[in-house]
Structure 1
Amino acid sequence: MQIKYLAGLILLAMGSAQAQSFPATSTATLPPDQQIEHVIHKLAPGIVVKGEAIPYQTLAATMAKFKVPGVSVAVIVDGKLAWAQGFGLKAADKKDRVNPTTLFQAASISKPVTATAMLKMVEQGMFSLDTPINTYLKSWQLPDNEFTKAEPVTLRRLVTHSAGLNVHGFPGYAAGAPIPTVPQILDGEQPANTEAVRVVMTPGSKWQYSGGGTTIMQLAMTDTSGEAFPSLMQRLVLAPMGMSNSAYEQALTSAKQNLAAAAHDEKGKVIAGRWHTYPELAAAGLWTTPTDLSKWAIELGDARAGKSSKVLSQATVNEMLSEQKEPSGLGPMVHGKDEAMYFEHGGSNEGYRCFVVYFPALGRGAAIMTNGDGGAFVYRPLLTALATAYNWPDFKPREIEAVKLDGKAAQQYLGEYPFPANSPKEKPPSVFVNLKKGELMITVPNFVPSTRAVMQTNGSLITPENGFEWAFTKDDAGRVIGIEFNGRKLPKKMR
């Protein structure tokens, strides 16, 4: 479905205004219950229009709009967990409510946590970041080709998504489906449901996100240590950091299933079997809570400052949180400089969306986990509310100027535009541009509900609710023939 392709693209629109100074805010001095009430009633879009009132929404209304049954949040202030709270239901077909110990699939947030363990193995002398990866692989080898003749695939390149590999992500395996081994996944052999992981461009030449690369790293870790991946992660990272409600378990053990939030599709329905299984443990297999993700973030921040070394040394963490291949550090994505520097990572598994961010110099951040395919549309305005309430240097609303269009001028943009499908076998979804009460509206069925779009001074449309930008392409006669989404050209207009 198109939502699988689009889910990660919301992160492209997360630009916001930068603050110039970062003093403590009044919100942080309120009791936790008042902090929570303030935040959950002040969700704002990432984009606001100059001269217009900010259209605040409540968390409950936003969850209902995007059909996300449950949300869990943990907030960090002054380098400590300030509060953690669950909202909504663990499953739409039951009455159990989300609480701070409810488990969610961390999806791709699994990757930077895995990277923490890999770097511990580097410190222990088991790995070198710049040695060809096949040196460490015993049960399987990455095939060489014309691209690897010039440059090798290494752990540094795997962990920074610059190894030149394909296979962006994984759909998981529905309940009852046969589960492949890691070598089968890497070779694309049945019952694997993704193509073979292969080098498709010169390693080191370009940043290209690859969960397939992280899966190669997983195999290198187990082949080298001789230890099963779940116990390896427990020993190296989860236990030392006190992440007591976390496990790289796929499938989830029966003892923990009652603690888990079920996955939901874009219509808010529980998916068959309640969740998918991800044998790609390093890339997508962590079950955890926002509180535990906060412990991970805080520990990295403390290690960076030389205050702790529960897992990694100060020198290693400084390298981990330094940009290697934009925007990747050694695991997390890193942005900003000095006090405004932060690391983050998002996650998107079938029926789960999540995000973690931390400003280590300021000791401020949050982890948000949801159990719905529409969860990115919930955590994005929630991040904006948190950024405003706790004065983060980034993620606050960005103000734009809008150009008013009359009805005649707006008519030229109306129509249906195809959107890229997830695979050649899929029918491309459509982007519809319509007019409602004199305003342009953009809809992507099953993903973006009908949403107001405003014309910017540069001639492109933006949908303030989600920050997506839509530019129009024209022929030599000035007629609109196509549309661009966040800088990406789409096929020509259908009608």
Structure 2
Amino acid sequence: MQSHLSRYVVITNSTNDEMNLASQMKALGVPAVSIAAIRNGAIDWTQAYGVSSLQGAPASTETLFGAASISKPVTALGVLRLVEEGKIDLDADVNQYLKRWKIPENQFTTTQKVTVRELLNHTSGIGTHNGEIYDPATPIPTLLQLLDGEKPAKTPPVRVEAIPGTKFAYSNGGYLVLSLLIEDVTGESFAAYMKRTVLDPIGMKHSTFDAPLPLKWQENGATAYGADGKWAVPPSKFVEPNLAAGGLWSTPADLAKLLLEVQREYEGKSHKVLHRQTIHMMVSPGKGPAPTRRYGLGFEVGGSPENPYIRHEGSAFFQDDMVEYLGGNGIVVMTSGGGGGALADEVLRSAGTVYGFPDFKSVEHTVADVPVSVLRSYVGTYAYVKVALEGGHLTAEIPAGSPAAQLYPESSTRFFVLDGPQELSFILDPQQNVTGTEFIAPMGHHRLDKTAAH
């Protein structure tokens, strides 16, 4: 698997798609990668590659990586434990359990209150904002300062911005409320509760929510690198205070243990954290529009009724991904940043071929010959997509301002990228003038009118 990585798209009869892990780590600026593969309900193998920091020691399977948003399904297990114990109700107003802070009432909460279920599946109406990394040499915001957006917090206050239960909006703030919920209901710190009820029972000995990362753990931590390779944050200076949303440090082997615990209890064979009925509820798709159906309670869910999978990605310098089919095959990939997101996707698709993941296999396209004069006519800005001509081929910034990706022509009007499902189909009027483009992505087709040439 390591010797042949797969892009999202492979070109028919192409000899340019041969990639291996070492060459892609170098090309994408990823100093460290660690992988755990799952086959038939057990860990098949684990392996680490590269160095824990530039000019540092080699990475090992015990090297800790920031799990980023992979923290969310781990948190969800802890929350659902409280549900099983009868300490909270999934569908009750979460404010009735909160003691030190309440979700402020506003025009969106007049008739609908925020529930625990909605916090878990990102339908609470709480606005979306990114997590922030703090250096412990400077003040780190408390949980209450984060909730109200008070200094030294760098993020906005947690507020409801849509009627709860009516729309999907991926929300780090919603998980911040869940960390408060756990602490107020149990009287324990979030990190201590998660260790007692989730990490220890599963045997995740190389995982912790402690922040800042204790000194004894820092020695095994990977340094995180920015996408441009210019920024480096060692574990001693890396704190995500929104622990529930992104504060876990872990290893692929430990996360594989967590996936296996979910898979085994899905079959009613474990009970270390939750029971079968709760796990089935956790991994069932939500109801409503497509984005809501993609999420259970903590996990992204997909596949078919006959072969469902659970998944979550993480991205905060560290770029991680984990997938498990509930039949017992899966993969966990953790990287120390750089272009680790693209690399993790390539590893996932390679695993899809080896382990038979029907939803994560490469898509094959053919390439057509399109004259440069035609390509030049497509140059311009279409709503949030910017198309340019470089060296005889088109590139697209999706969205504008992001790194440009090469567009490959499948016909004279339809183009695709190699590293994702995005496609552009240019729209012509009867005089063959370009009026817009149809942007084709996993969430559907969207017409984008041409706004400017350049």
TM-based fold match above 0.5: yes
Map residues 398-417 of structure 1 onto 2, 5 A cutoff. Answer: 398-415=363-380
Q: Secondary structure at the match of 2:108?
A: coil
Structure 1 CA distance for aligned equivalents of residues 332 and 402 of structure 2: 23
Q: Secondary structure at the match of 1:48?
A: strand
Question: Is 1:369 matched with 2:330?
Answer: no
Question: Is 1:216 matched with 2:177?
Answer: yes
- Please say if residues 240 and 311 of structure 1, whose CA atoms lie closer than 8 Å, have aligned partners that are also in contact: yes
Q: Secondary structure at the match of 2:232?
A: coil
Q: CA deviation at 1:494?
A: 5.6
2:222 maps to which residue? Answer: 261
- Please say if residues 107 and 284 of structure 1, whose CA atoms lie closer than 8 Å, have aligned partners that are also in contact: yes
1:98 maps to which residue? Answer: 59
- Please say if residues 414 and 432 of structure 1, whose CA atoms lie closer than 8 Å, have aligned partners that are also in contact: yes
2:305 maps to which residue? Answer: 338
2:289 maps to which residue? Answer: none
1:354 maps to which residue? Answer: 320
Q: Secondary structure at the match of 2:63?
A: coil
User: Which of 1 and 2 has higher RCO (CA within 8 Å, sep 6+)?
Assistant: 1
Q: Deviations over 1:369-423 (max 9, x none)?
A: 001142111011111111101112220001234443112111112356785xxxx
Q: Secondary structure at the match of 1:183?
A: helix
1:113 maps to which residue? Answer: 74
Task: Please list every run of 5 or more consecutive structure 1 residues that lacks an aligned counterpart in the other structure.
Answer: 1-38, 420-429
Structure 1 CA distance for aligned equivalents of residues 156 and 368 of structure 2: 46
1:306 maps to which residue? Answer: 268
Q: Structure 1 residues 191 and 242 mapped into 2: Cα distance closer, same or farther (>3 Å)?
A: same
1:492 to 441, 451, 454: 451
Q: CA deviation at 1:196?
A: 1.0
2:118 maps to which residue? Answer: 157
Q: CA deviation at 1:442?
A: 4.1
2:285 maps to which residue? Answer: 323
Map residues 197-236 of structure 1 onto 2, 5 A cutoff. Answer: 197-236=158-197
- Please say if residues 370 and 411 of structure 2, whose CA atoms lie closer than 8 Å, have aligned partners that are also in contact: no
2:50 maps to which residue? Answer: 88
Per the normalisation by structure 2, the TM-score is 0.91
Structure 1 CA distance for aligned equivalents of residues 9 and 166 of structure 2: 34
Of the structure 1 ranges 300-309 and 54-63, higher mean CA displacement relative to structure 2 is found in 54-63
1:381 to 324, 337, 346: 346
Q: Secondary structure at the match of 1:172?
A: coil
1:194 maps to which residue? Answer: 155
Q: CA deviation at 1:459?
A: 3.5
Q: Deviations over 1:3-22 (max 9, x none)?
A: xxxxxxxxxxxxxxxxxxxx
Aligned residues: 442
Q: Deviations over 1:171-221 (max 9, x none)?
A: 222453321111111111111111111111111111110010010011011
- Please say if residues 266 and 447 of structure 1, whose CA atoms lie closer than 8 Å, have aligned partners that are also in contact: no
Structure 2 CA distance for aligned equivalents of residues 341 and 131 of structure 1: 29
Q: Deviations over 1:301-333 (max 9, x none)?
A: 000101111110011101111112311101101
- Please say if residues 299 and 310 of structure 1, whose CA atoms lie closer than 8 Å, have aligned partners that are also in contact: yes
Q: CA deviation at 1:441?
A: 3.6
Question: Is 1:291 matched with 2:253?
Answer: yes
Q: CA deviation at 1:433?
A: 2.0
Q: Structure 1 residues 175 and 476 mapped into 2: Cα distance closer, same or farther (>3 Å)?
A: farther
- Please say if residues 207 and 326 of structure 1, whose CA atoms lie closer than 8 Å, have aligned partners that are also in contact: no
Q: Deviations over 1:98-150 (max 9, x none)?
A: 11100000000000000001001111111110000101100001011121122
Structure 2 CA distance for aligned equivalents of residues 139 and 371 of structure 1: 36
Question: Is 1:140 matched with 2:96?
Answer: no
2:407 to 441, 448, 453: 453
Structure 2 CA distance for aligned equivalents of residues 270 and 264 of structure 1: 5
Structure 1 CA distance for aligned equivalents of residues 100 and 450 of structure 2: 43
Question: Is 1:250 matched with 2:211?
Answer: yes
Q: Structure 1 residues 490 and 238 mapped into 2: Cα distance closer, same or farther (>3 Å)?
A: farther
Q: Structure 1 residues 181 and 463 mapped into 2: Cα distance closer, same or farther (>3 Å)?
A: same
Per the normalisation by structure 1, the TM-score is 0.84
Structure 1 CA distance for aligned equivalents of residues 401 and 343 of structure 2: 15
2:359 maps to which residue? Answer: 394
- Please say if residues 128 and 169 of structure 2, whose CA atoms lie closer than 8 Å, have aligned partners that are also in contact: no
- Please say if residues 481 and 493 of structure 1, whose CA atoms lie closer than 8 Å, have aligned partners that are also in contact: no
Structure 2 CA distance for aligned equivalents of residues 378 and 493 of structure 1: 34
Structure 2 CA distance for aligned equivalents of residues 174 and 473 of structure 1: 49
Q: Which amino acid aligns with 1:352?
A: F
- Please say if residues 72 and 368 of structure 1, whose CA atoms lie closer than 8 Å, have aligned partners that are also in contact: yes
Structure 1 CA distance for aligned equivalents of residues 440 and 145 of structure 2: 35
- Please say if residues 377 and 466 of structure 1, whose CA atoms lie closer than 8 Å, have aligned partners that are also in contact: no
2:4 to 28, 31, 42: 42
2:394 maps to which residue? Answer: 440
- Please say if residues 225 and 338 of structure 2, whose CA atoms lie closer than 8 Å, have aligned partners that are also in contact: yes
- Give the superposed CA RMSD: 2.4
Q: CA deviation at 1:456?
A: 3.6
Task: Please list every run of 5 or more consecutive structure 2 residues that lacks an aligned counterpart in the other structure.
Answer: 287-291
Q: CA deviation at 1:65?
A: 1.4
1:282 maps to which residue? Answer: 244
Q: Secondary structure at the match of 2:132?
A: coil
- Please say if residues 322 and 334 of structure 1, whose CA atoms lie closer than 8 Å, have aligned partners that are also in contact: yes
Q: Structure 1 residues 258 and 53 mapped into 2: Cα distance closer, same or farther (>3 Å)?
A: same
1:239 to 174, 177, 200: 200
Q: Structure 1 residues 95 and 190 mapped into 2: Cα distance closer, same or farther (>3 Å)?
A: closer
Q: CA deviation at 1:160?
A: 0.3
